[in-house]
Amino acid sequence: MPRIVGDWTLDKLKIIEQYLPAYLTATYKASERVYIDAFAGPGRNEIKGSGNIVNGSPLIALNARSAAGKVFDRLYFIELDKTDADELETSLVGRDPHRRAEVIRGDVNTELPRLLGRISPRSPTFVFLDPEGIDPEWETIEALAASQTELLINFPLGMAINRNPDSAKVTKYFGTEAWRPLWEAGSLRASRLLALYKERLSDLGYVHQVEDSRLVKAEGNRRLYYLIFVSKVPVAQRIMRSVFKQPDAAGQPRMNLFPEGQ
């Protein structure tokens, strides 16, 4: 069964679809290129309302190809839910003749650090972290920083933290208690928490960030998640900045996350 999603998902998928071929071009000299989907899902999505079926991020990455024909040499799809992992493996049948992809069943905070032991720290590795909540623990992000990784992170903070502000889970997510006073202060909460997360990413060496991280809105203009892109190389930042400037999946200009002064 494909995952049923709102049409705002198309926007996130479009960003991945536009960026990955450029990533494969930029890393053409490397001996291998690796893709990790840390919250992979079942592989295909059904758009609520229209019933259209579209590829999810794992299949988009599997199909990604640079203009010169480079593809990811290895792809790892981590998925906790058994039904989704089964579905994803079924989706790969016939689509992955060279067996580049592997589905890893389990929790990202266990499986991702373990997986890194199988990848050379010098291999360019693109990691998409697309949770529904605040699942990736800071220690997992720290483990990624030792390798030549760049990260696209779905940052669903607003809803997740508002639902459960006292949770120890939030502290594990940020890897610090520093989120508490920002949350308690109330005003400008979302922008300050986002700034804290980005600052911590910068401390890990991900100094090239797309500053105008995107706010993706769901139905009813509810804030749903932010997309944060971080890299250790300036060219990646330039490319992602131009991708973020493209119209969204509905052909509309994307909105500034925090208008000036907020």
Ligand X SMILES: C[S@@+](CC[C@H](N)C(=O)[O-])C[C@H]1O[C@@H](n2cnc3c(N)ncnc32)[C@H](O)[C@@H]1O
User: Site residues (CB under 6 A) for ligand X?
Assistant: 13, 39, 41, 45, 56-57, 78-81, 84, 107-108, 130-132, 135
Cβ distance to ligand X smaller for residue 84 or 248? 84
Cβ distance to ligand X smaller for residue 140 or 182? 140
Strands 223-231 and 214-217: antiparallel
Please give the Cα distance from 257 to 105 (Å, whole number).
Answer: 34
Cβ distance to ligand X smaller for residue 80 or 145? 80
One-character DSSP codes across 192-217: HHHHHHHHHHHHTT--EE-SSPEEEE
The residue among 106, 110, 14 whose CA lies nearest residue 64 is: 14
Q: Write down the least CB distance from residue 169 to ligand X, Å.
A: 11
Cβ distance to ligand X smaller for residue 83 or 202? 83
Q: Write down the least CB distance from residue 52 to ligand X, Å.
A: 14
Q: Write down the least CB distance from residue 109 to ligand X, Å.
A: 6
Cβ contacts of residue 90 below 8 Å, gap of 6+?
43
Query: Of all residues in this chain, which one has the CB nearest to ligand X in the complex?
Result: 56
Cβ distance to ligand X smaller for residue 45 or 237? 45
Q: Write down the least CB distance from residue 143 to ligand X, Å.
A: 14
Please give the Cα distance from 98 to 158 (Å, whole number).
Answer: 41
Strands 74-79 and 34-37: parallel
- Decide: helix, strand or coil at residue 78: strand
Please give the Cα distance from 71 to 23 (Å, whole number).
Answer: 10
Give the total residue count for the chain: 262
Cβ distance to ligand X smaller for residue 43 or 124? 43
Q: Write down the least CB distance from residue 79 to ligand X, Å.
A: 5
Q: Write down the least CB distance from residue 222 to ligand X, Å.
A: 16
